[in-house]
Amino acid sequence: MQRRKFVTVLSVNCLILALVALPLVAACAKPTPAPALPPAPKPEPIVLKVVSFLPRTDPTVRNLLEFVEEMPKRSNGRIIIKYRGGPEAIPAPQQPKAAKEGVVDIAFTLTGFCKPLGIPPLQPVSPLTPDEEHKPGGFADQMQEFYSKAGLYYLGRTDARPQGFFYNSTNKRVKKPHDLAGQKV
């Protein structure tokens, strides 16, 4: 009879030991690895089309082409801009309308060509740098007010060099400022 009691006590102690050891054994066991997920698909780059009001060979277009080249680098390949040509692809006066209608995504153009869309033919000459122009309430915001009325977005100017990029000409020889009197420029 005493032997039975010992077996019962021993069985209970083994049971207690097993219950205490079970969480420790479970904690030390290697977890079953989760099934490997396939890698997330790489997002497709955004591809934008741009045209310029001047031919590709014009020095003014150089800055636009640098922008086109630089964009994939700066966006880690997420944005690609494809130059579709100058006025030979879409006549310069029609480029703002082409951008509005989605034929192209960006038009490097003059504000004068935007007049049919309701944008006043401004020829802003800003002494500010592009960073200064894009400060809240600055020049870029003012330009955006005009462009938004036409369903477009003003990105900024491409040539911010101090000397600018305006070409002025006349059909009469000018040697001094007074020679411009009465001329249409």
- When pLDDT is cut at 50, 70 and 90, the band that residue 88 belongs to is very high
Give the residue with greater pLDDT, 64 vs 34: 64
* C-alpha to C-alpha distance for 131 and 150, rounded to whole angstroms: 24
Q: Please, what is the average pLDDT of the chain?
A: 76
**Average of pLDDT values for 69-79?**
90
Residue type, 25: V
Residue type, 178: H
- When pLDDT is cut at 50, 70 and 90, the band that residue 122 belongs to is low
pLDDT beyond 80 at 168: no
- Residue 20 φ then ψ, to 5°: -75, -40
- When pLDDT is cut at 50, 70 and 90, the band that residue 26 belongs to is low
Q: Name the DSSP letter for residue 75.
A: T
- When pLDDT is cut at 50, 70 and 90, the band that residue 4 belongs to is low
pLDDT at residue number 23: 63
pLDDT at residue number 30: 66
pLDDT beyond 80 at 14: no
Strand partners, 108: 52
pLDDT at residue number 9: 47
Quickly tell me which residue has 């010992």 as its tokens.
Answer: 6
pLDDT beyond 90 at 140: no
Quickly tell me which residue has 């006043």 as its tokens.
Answer: 120
Helix (H) or strand (E) holding 85: none
Q: Residue 38: which residues within 8 A CB-CB, separation 6 or more?
A: none
Q: Do residues 47 and 82 touch, judged by C-beta distance below 8 A?
A: yes
pLDDT at residue number 7: 46
- When pLDDT is cut at 50, 70 and 90, the band that residue 90 belongs to is very high
The burial of 126, by beta-carbon neighbours within 10 Å (0-12 exposed, 13-18 middle, 19 or more buried), is given as: middle
pLDDT at residue number 8: 45
